[in-house]
Amino acid sequence: MRVVLVSSRSFGNVVTIGNDLLRDAGFQVHRVSEEERPLDDATLAAIVLREAPEVIITGAEPMSETVLAAHDNLRMIMKHGVGVDNIDLGAATSHGIVVANAPGTNSEAVAELAFGFILSMLRGICPANASTRVGGWKRYMGHELGAMTLGIVGTGRIGASVARRAHAFGASLLGFDVVENEELRVYGLRYVPLNRLLKEADVITLHAPLMPQTEKMIGKEQLEAMKPSAFLVNCARGELVDELALYEHLKAGAIAGAAVDVFATEPPQDSPLLSLDNVLATPHIGAYTYEAMEAMDRLCAETTIDVLVRGKTPSNLLNPEAVRK
């Protein structure tokens, strides 16, 4: 019996293509039940020991040494998404467990959410809606994106998608990344140091991956560099921002507002950000479109089949050296 353990909440919940492909290829798909959540190392390791899967399709659950070593059957970790900061790649490789992700499948979805945040904050759509529903008729003044400077921190697939949209609105574009995307210069994007981007941009949107050098890259010092009229958007990872420092700056009116789809702890029941009127918050829905889910589910299933059935080494494998082990 070839088992795929699905710990991701979203895989197979919206569309059936991923489950269908896996079952047609001879796999049995077992899902982690809601009763067994939340998933810490010990709980997930016990499930792996019980189910003896060849593959885990994971969301944000911890793929630690404890989990990876729980059963000798485990040969592959498939990330239902892009960021792999929850997966111990070194431990996976040492155990001969291949790791893959689903790049490009949710780029447009996340970019559209970020862009929706930007327009909502610039035009005060959320407070205007709330006011009107209770009988108010306040004319909320806003800004036109075409008159603004947008700073994009992280110019990979998602950042590039945001740049294309903002260019169509006529915005001036600044970018910061350790690797510059020369193709974005056609949209007028200029690469500058992070501190200059923070000082000059009217809206800053974060699309950097989470790694040791990017954790809390937006802290007290960086927030102090921003204009008092500026907005911050985070659709990447909550840990990129010092949430307490952001709360203090927003509460004091040191920056105008923030929109966050991600938090350092999720769900963020104790986050002070949720108490502020100048914060727009959503529950990590960046990738949650039918189109993105179909693309992610399909790629997760096809990658699993390519590796374990067809013996291929697809381009989205993150540690191909594990294949040799």
Q: Within 10 A of 188 (CB to CB), how many other CB atoms are there? A: 14
Question: Do 122 and 250 fall within a single domain?
Answer: yes
Residue whose entry in the numeric block shows the structure tokens 């921190």: 153
CA 224, chain centre distance (Å): 25
Question: Do 6 and 144 fall within a single domain?
Answer: no
Question: Do 111 and 101 fall within a single domain?
Answer: no
> Residue 86: which domain range?
2-105+289-324
Separation between Cα atoms, residue 128 and residue 131, nearest integer Å: 5
Separation between Cα atoms, residue 183 and residue 170, nearest integer Å: 18
> What single-letter amino acid sits at 221?
E
Question: Do 296 and 263 fall within a single domain?
Answer: no
Separation between Cα atoms, residue 73 and residue 258, nearest integer Å: 45
Tokens representing 82 are: 């892009």
Residue whose entry in the numeric block shows the structure tokens 């498939």: 78
Q: Within 10 A of 90 (CB to CB), how many other CB atoms are there? A: 10
Question: Do 62 and 149 fall within a single domain?
Answer: no
Question: Do 187 and 276 fall within a single domain?
Answer: yes
Task: Please tell me the predicted confidence (pLDDT) of residue 230.
Answer: 98
Is position 143 annotated as part of the catalytic site?
no
Q: Which position among 75, 80, 165, 237 bears the catalytic label? A: 237
Question: Do 207 and 319 fall within a single domain?
Answer: no
Question: Do 264 and 299 fall within a single domain?
Answer: no
Does pTM surpass 0.85? yes
Question: Do 33 and 166 fall within a single domain?
Answer: no
CA distances from 294 to 21, 102, 314 (A): 12, 11, 19
Residue whose entry in the numeric block shows the structure tokens 């299933």: 301
Q: Which position among 80, 157, 249, 284 bears the catalytic label? A: 284
Is position 237 annotated as part of the catalytic site?
yes
Task: Please tell me the predicted confidence (pLDDT) of residue 67.
Answer: 97
Task: Please tell me the predicted confidence (pLDDT) of residue 324.
Answer: 74
**pLDDT tens digits, residue range 123-144?**
999 999 999 999 999 999 999 9
Separation between Cα atoms, residue 295 and residue 63, nearest integer Å: 23
Is position 144 annotated as part of the catalytic site?
no
Task: Please tell me the predicted confidence (pLDDT) of residue 14.
Answer: 92
Asked if 18 contacts 298 with a C-beta cutoff of 8 angstroms, the reply is yes
Averaged pLDDT in 10-residue chunks for the chain of 325 residues? 94 95 97 92 96 96 96 97 94 96 96 98 96 96 98 97 98 97 96 98 97 96 98 97 98 98 92 96 96 97 97 94 81
Question: Do 89 and 179 fall within a single domain?
Answer: no
Give the chain's domain count: 2
Which CATH number characterizes residue 229's domain? Answer: 3.40.50.720
Question: Do 262 and 184 fall within a single domain?
Answer: yes
Q: Which position among 266, 291, 310, 321 bears the catalytic label? A: 266
Question: Do 31 and 89 fall within a single domain?
Answer: yes
Task: Please tell me the predicted confidence (pLDDT) of residue 269.
Answer: 81
Q: How far apart are the first and last CA of the chain?
A: 23
What's the 3-state SS for the chain? CEEEEECCCCCCCCCCHHHHHHHHCCEEEEECCHHHCCCCHHHHHHHHHHHCCCEEEECCCCECHHHHCCCCCCCEEEECCCCCCCECHHHHHHCCCEEECCCCCCHHHHHHHHHHHHHHHHHCHHHHHHHHHCCCCCCCCCCCHHHCEEEEECCCHHHHHHHHHHHHHCCEEEEECCCCCHHHHHHCCEECCHHHHHHHCCEEEECCCCCCCCCCCECHHHHHHCCCCCEEEECCCHHHECHHHHHHHHHCCCCCEEEECCCCCCCCCCCHHHHCCCEEECCCCCCCCHHHHHHHHHHHHHHHHHHHCCCCCCCCECCCHHHHC
Asked if 318 contacts 84 with a C-beta cutoff of 8 angstroms, the reply is yes
